[in-house]
Amino acid sequence: MLNDATVATLKSSLRGELIQPGDAQYDAARAVYNAMIQRRPRLIARCADVADVITAVNFARTEKMLVSVRGGGHNAAGLGVCDDGLVIDLSPMRWVRVDPRKRTILAGGGAQWGDVDHAGHAFGLAVPSGIISTTGVGGLTLGGGIGHLTRQCGLTIDNLLAVDMVLADGRFVTANAKENADLFWAVRGGGGNFGVVTAFLYEAHPIHTNYAGPMLYPLEDTADVLRWYRNFIVKAPKELNGFFAFLTVPPGPPFPEHLHLKKMCGMCGATAGRSRRRRRSSSQFARERRRRSISSGPSRTRLCRACSTRSIRRGISGTGRPISCVRSTTMRWRCMRSMAANCRRCCRRCTCTQSMARRRV
């Protein structure tokens, strides 16, 4: 039975923190990305290592407690936190190790994609992931993982080579194509509740810099833009990635004030090929759009930014900033050094204030 003595025993067995209702950090520790989720767990074990995870799993089994596992806390349904149960919080396990020779990246269960991007970028390597840098690697990977590199490199889960796991009986195992292959199959789409993944080993790809940003249009243009996008993307080079979106424009930079809070549609595009192929991809994109007159007229607005979150690091080989054109009939992928020439050459009648965004992958 759960009482003060058993809780004290658990607390003394952990290297990480054990947080309870009434503690100063309790509200912050139970909060998740979706602010509508307001659950109140009985205990939150902030695990510092695999030993802490094993201890927490064994405690929950013995005490017959409901368990939730929190990685980055981005799950929309708030599955990383539960009422009156034990939250196994992996966020302290936020380490990343890169093996440039094998082209692999090993990430702790609490790592976020911004951590993986930062570590891999120094070696010119990237793992296909989502579009938000603060998303946890665990939830996105085990859920499939679609993002800016998907057309070129596949889903995140397609690039998963192995996992380290703590099972419900407290055993620690490694699962890959040769060892515990059935478990490896299970965690790659076979369902849930097989255990707590404490580390993910990924195949990494030789990608140094990704150019990305949304191109937005009024909602009344949705049918035309979707028809164009459907026909274009199936023939586009694999290095050119994109997905269609409906959104309310965020009320802040880098979006122009006249677009703030407007309902719009658009394509979030990215290209990550080598410089020559990247230029070919973006030029093809611009040509197709001009030919189909999708973006002609003063009411059309194109806006590109470096990333979907402020926390993604920007510009490794030059200072990159967003571009905003009031009348956007062309698109150019340029760095700041060519901004003046670029504006004179391709945006003579536009209000180009800055250059195309450059971001880390």
Q: Taking residues 170-192, what's their average pLDDT?
A: 93
* pLDDT tier for residue 72 given thresholds of 50, 70 and 90: very high
Residue 278 scores a pLDDT above 60: no
**Of 243, 197, 184, 168, nearest in space to 72 by CA:** 197
**Of 230, 241, 214, 58, nearest in space to 151 by CA:** 241
Asked if residues 33 and 78 have their Cβ atoms less than 8 Å apart, the reply is: no
Q: Return the pLDDT at 282.
A: 56
Q: How far apart are CA 220 and CA 84, in angstroms?
A: 47
* pLDDT tier for residue 209 given thresholds of 50, 70 and 90: confident
Q: How far apart are CA 71 and CA 90, in angstroms?
A: 5
Distances (CA, A) of 6 to 81, 190, 306: 21, 35, 49
DSSP assignment of 154-187: --TGGGEEEEEEE-TTS-EEEEESSSSHHHHHHH
Q: Return the pLDDT at 83.
A: 97
Percentage of residues in the chain having pLDDT higher than 70: 75
Higher pLDDT, 207 or 300: 207
DSSP assignment of 271-282: E-S-HHHHHHHH
Q: Return the pLDDT at 275.
A: 54
Instruction: Provide CATH code, domain 4-89.
Output: 3.30.43.10
Q: How far apart are CA 227 and CA 245, in angstroms?
A: 14
pLDDT digits (tens, 9 = 90+) for 126-164: 999 988 899 999 999 999 998 889 999 999 999 999 999
Q: Give residue limits of the domains in the chain.
A: 4-89, 96-203, 209-360
* pLDDT tier for residue 190 given thresholds of 50, 70 and 90: confident
Which amino acid appears at position 251 of this protein?
Answer: P
Helix (H) / strand (E) element for 69: namely strand 67-70
Residue 42 scores a pLDDT above 60: yes
Asked if residues 350 and 306 have their Cβ atoms less than 8 Å apart, the reply is: no
* pLDDT tier for residue 244 given thresholds of 50, 70 and 90: confident
Higher pLDDT, 220 or 300: 220
CB-based contacts of 275: which residues, under 8 Å, 6+ apart? none
Q: How far apart are CA 303 and CA 326, in angstroms?
A: 9
Q: Return the pLDDT at 255.
A: 85
Asked if residues 325 and 347 have their Cβ atoms less than 8 Å apart, the reply is: yes
Q: How far apart are CA 292 and CA 227, in angstroms?
A: 11
Residue 329 scores a pLDDT above 70: no
| Unique residue bearing structure tokens 């679609």 | 146
**Of 351, 221, 352, nearest in space to 295 by CA:** 221
The architecture in CATH of the region 96-203 reads 2-Layer Sandwich (3.30)
Distances (CA, A) of 9 to 13, 14, 286, 302: 6, 9, 64, 58
Q: Return the pLDDT at 276.
A: 57
| Unique residue bearing structure tokens 């929190």 | 70
Which amino acid appears at position 201 of this protein?
Answer: L
